[in-house]
Every structure is written in C-alpha cells, then in structure tokens.
C-alpha cells in the first residue's frame, strides 16, 4: 500500500468513521483542551494547586485505566509502570503541576501562550541530543519567532506584581520544558500497545506524585472542604470529565482515523481558544502586547509543527503528543 493510499484510508469517508464523530472529536481537542487553562484558574481559587491537579488526574486515570484494561486485556509489566511513573513525573508532576501552580498569579491566557511553545523545546532537545536531528529552515524561523513572542509577552505583563509574577513565568517555562522532555522520553520507551492504557497509567502515577507533592508542600493544612467555592468545584469536575475523560480518548481516536499532521493542529488552535475564553469569560485584560505575542507564538508553533525536517508520522505523533497546551501541560 502506498503512502497516499494509507493517508486516504485514514481519512473519514465512505468506509471510514462517521464524519460527525470526527468533527466532534476535533471540537473536543480544540475547544475542551483550549478551555482547560481557564478551568485551572478557577480551580486553584479555593483548592490548593497540587491537590487539585493530583486528585483530578488520579480519579480520571483510574476510570480510564479500568475502561482501557477491559477493552484491551493487557497487563502492564513492572517495567512499563516504571516508564509511566517517569513520564508522569515529567509531564504531570512538573509539567501540569507547574502550570497549575503558576496560574495562581499568571492569567490563563498568558499561561496558555507560554505553554504553547512546548514544540519549540522539543525541537531544541531533539537537536541537542547525540546525533540529533537538525531542524529545517522553516523550523528555525519558528524558533526565532517563538522566542520573539515570549519576549513581547513577558515585557508587557506583570507590571506592579514583582517577584511572584516572575516566578510564575519561570514555572511555566520549566513546565513546558519538562513536558517536552517527557514526550521525547516516551518516544522509544516500553509502553503498552493500548495508547489509552498508557495514558491512564501516566495519569495514575502522575496524579499520585502530585498528591504527594501537595502533602509535602503543606497544602493539607490550607485545604478545607467548606472553603471550596462552587466555581472551583465545577472547574474540577470539568477538568476531570471533559479535559481528561473526553479529551484524551478523543485525541487517541483521532490519531487512529486521521493523519498526525491534522491532529497536531490543536497545538496552535488551543492557545487561541484559551486567550479568547480568558479575555471574555475570564475577564482577563487583552493588551496590545498580549495580542501581538499571541499572534507571534501561534505562527511560531505552526512553523515548527509543519516544518519539521524529514517529517514522518512518528515525528508528527511526538509533536502532537507533546505540544501543551496545549494541556499540552494544561490538559
């Protein structure tokens, strides 16, 4: 079978999945994942960040694991659980945990734009490794535009907020780097054949590590069921159900019925959705710097995702899996 025939077979059509299901799945990863940044902001208003993130991933992971286990019948090995724990530590504890912690002081729109540059870090890390892949000219252009967008974004934000804002920006940059590192780590790691089972294992281990981090950070002392607002409770449910239990299965299913290049378009749609929701529903300020930086970052992500040197379905899958925002770490 030729490459064109494989791509054609993967497209929704006469013998493929219903077109409506494909549209709904794309809407899920576009809108739901783009809205998780605002959901996180509401969630951490009255729930400590690490406990909030850890509990939602642990609950979602257990539910998703039960579903995937019954469906696939696979029994993950101890080695695969170790891989899941490392991936969960990098992508959820440090990745999503960093985003959740930062959104206590950083607007969700700014967080989404900074996290959207995860493909940038993936390209640089992949290039820096031994016998790494040199990026194409288009990707290099994307790197330059991306760093310019970060410079514009950070130069006009956080005035009057001082050190707390700077620490929040640093946490977001570290979070996107860790998500990229975790995505590259899992590329050749030993994982179950079922993608859903692998995701569930990472949620369980990452969620448990986030809960432990919350305990060590003393969040139990500041946590109280009576203090949880309705907004935070609704946000937690939304992040758990929509962000994890609907978004991730939709994403995995799309990778099976569509092309990785098309699925990876969420990487530059998510930040647009996040900024739109943050500046409307979230009533976050839409400054000229935010608008310019957002445009630059979205263009940068598009150049990086579309212009990878020697593109292949495997390379596209890595970009699609690691680009966060988005959730990207924010998912």
Distance CA 276, CA 286 (A): 9
Task: Produce one character per residue of 283-313: b if its CB has 16 or more CB atoms within 10 Å, e if not.
Answer: ebeeeeebeebbebbbbbbbbbbbbbbeeee
Contacts of 1 (CB under 8 A, 6+ apart): 9
Amino acid 159: pLDDT: 53
Q: What is the pLDDT of residue 206?
A: 97
| Torsion (CA) 248, 254, 260, 262 in degrees, nearest 10 | -110
Residues 6+ apart with CB under 8 A from 227: 46
The pair of structure tokens assigned to 309 is 């040197």
User: Residue 121's pLDDT is what?
Assistant: 86
**DSSP summary character for residue 227:** G
Mean pLDDT, 10 residues at a time, the chain of 331 residues? 45 66 91 95 97 97 95 94 96 95 93 88 83 81 88 67 80 92 86 92 97 97 93 97 92 83 82 92 88 89 70 41 41 68
In this prediction, residue 134 carries a pLDDT of 80
The reported pLDDT for the residue numbered 311 is 46
What is the distance between the alpha carbons of residues 107 and 139, in angstroms, rounded to a whole number? 28
Phi-psi region of 136 (alpha: psi -120 to 50; beta: other; left: phi over 0): beta
Q: Could you tell me if 142 and 307 are in contact, meaning their C-beta atoms sit under 8 angstroms apart?
A: yes
Other beta carbons within 10 Å of 1: 7
pLDDT score, position 329 = 54
The maximal CA–CA distance of the chain, rounded, in angstroms, is 61
Note the pLDDT of residue 308. 58
């Amino acid at each position: 079978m030729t490459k064109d025939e494989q791509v054609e077979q993967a497209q929704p059509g006469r013998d493929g999945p219903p077109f409506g299901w494909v549209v709904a799945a794309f809407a899920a990863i576009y809108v739901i994942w783009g809205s998780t940044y605002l959901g996180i902001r509401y969630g951490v208003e009255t729930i400590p960040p690490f406990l909030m993130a850890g509990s939602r991933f642990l609950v979602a992971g257990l539910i998703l694991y039960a579903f995937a286990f019954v469906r696939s019948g696979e029994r993950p090995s101890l080695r695969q659980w170790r891989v899941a724990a490392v991936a969960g530590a990098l992508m959820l504890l440090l990745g999503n945990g960093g985003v959740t912690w930062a959104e206590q002081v950083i607007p969700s729109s700014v967080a989404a734009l900074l996290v959207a540059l995860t493909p940038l870090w993936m390209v640089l890390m992949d290039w820096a490794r031994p016998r790494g892949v040199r990026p194409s000219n288009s990707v290099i252009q994307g790197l330059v535009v991306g760093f310019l967008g970060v410079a514009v974004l950070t130069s006009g934000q956080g005035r009057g907020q001082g050190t707390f804002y700077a620490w929040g920006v640093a946490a977001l940059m570290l979070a996107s780097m860790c998500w990229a590192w975790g995505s590259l780590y899992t590329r050749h790691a030993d994982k179950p054949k079922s993608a859903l089972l692998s995701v569930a294992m990472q949620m369980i281990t990452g969620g448990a590590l986030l809960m432990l981090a919350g305990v060590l950070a003393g969040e139990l002392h500041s946590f109280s069921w009576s203090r949880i607002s309705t907004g935070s409770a609704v946000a937690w449910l939304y992040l758990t159900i929509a962000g994890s239990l609907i978004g991730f299965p939709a994403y995995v299913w799309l990778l099976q019925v569509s092309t990785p290049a098309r699925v990876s378009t969420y990487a530059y749609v998510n930040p647009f959705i996040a900024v739109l929701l943050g500046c409307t529903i979230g009533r976050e300020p839409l400054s000229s710097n935010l608008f310019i930086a957002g445009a630059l970052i979205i263009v940068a992500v598009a150049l990086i995702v579309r212009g990878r040197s020697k593109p292949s379905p495997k390379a596209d899958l890595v970009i699609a899996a690691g680009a966060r925002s988005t959730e990207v770490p924010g998912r």
